[in-house]
Amino acid sequence: MSEGLPDLLALDALLLQTGERARGEHRWRRVLERSLWHLHILNREEQLVGFVRSTSDLALNANLWDLWADAGDPAQPELLLALVQASLGKLRRELPGCSISLSAPPQAVAALQRQGFVVDPGGIRAMGRGL
């Protein structure tokens, strides 16, 4: 797990796997500059296989964005779980008591539920967890 600047082209490739449009290097730089922090995972070949970033008002709310893991990696569920666990641990240390919201792909739901998130019963597909 690393907090350093990930390869921005690799981030776009990971994003494209989700069916979203590429953001391009300039937009990624702006997004990352405006984030509180970001984490990424590289495999043994130094290829980007997981990513998540956080924003916050530094008081009551934190948001996790762009939670992705390589769909072609057989360890995708474990990668998602590792990103969620690392993110929650970091938020607990840095912003205890903050509520957390996130937008996540369907593949991440199981990892999030294992960490105490509950899918919104109203069908909005939002998840939240208070620390």
Instruction: Give domain status of residue 3, yes or no.
Output: no
Instruction: Give domain status of residue 1, yes or no.
Output: no
Q: Quickly count: other Cβ atoms within 10 Å of residue 1's Cβ.
A: 14
Residue 113's alpha-carbon distances to 7, 37, 66, 84, in angstroms, are 29, 23, 17, 10
What domain range is 27 assigned to?
A: 8-130
Instruction: Give domain status of residue 93, yes or no.
Output: yes
CATH label of the domain that carries residue 45: 3.40.630.30
Instruction: Give domain status of residue 49, yes or no.
Output: yes
pLDDT band at 12 (very low <50, low <70, confident <90, very high): very high
Average pLDDT over residues 21-33: 93
What per-residue confidence (pLDDT) applies to 131? 52
Residue 37 near residue 53 (C-beta atoms within 8 A) = yes
- Total domain count, the chain: 1
Instruction: Give domain status of residue 29, yes or no.
Output: yes
The per-residue pLDDT for range 68-103, each reduced to its tens digit, is 999 889 999 999 999 999 999 999 899 998 888 887
Instruction: Give domain status of residue 2, yes or no.
Output: no
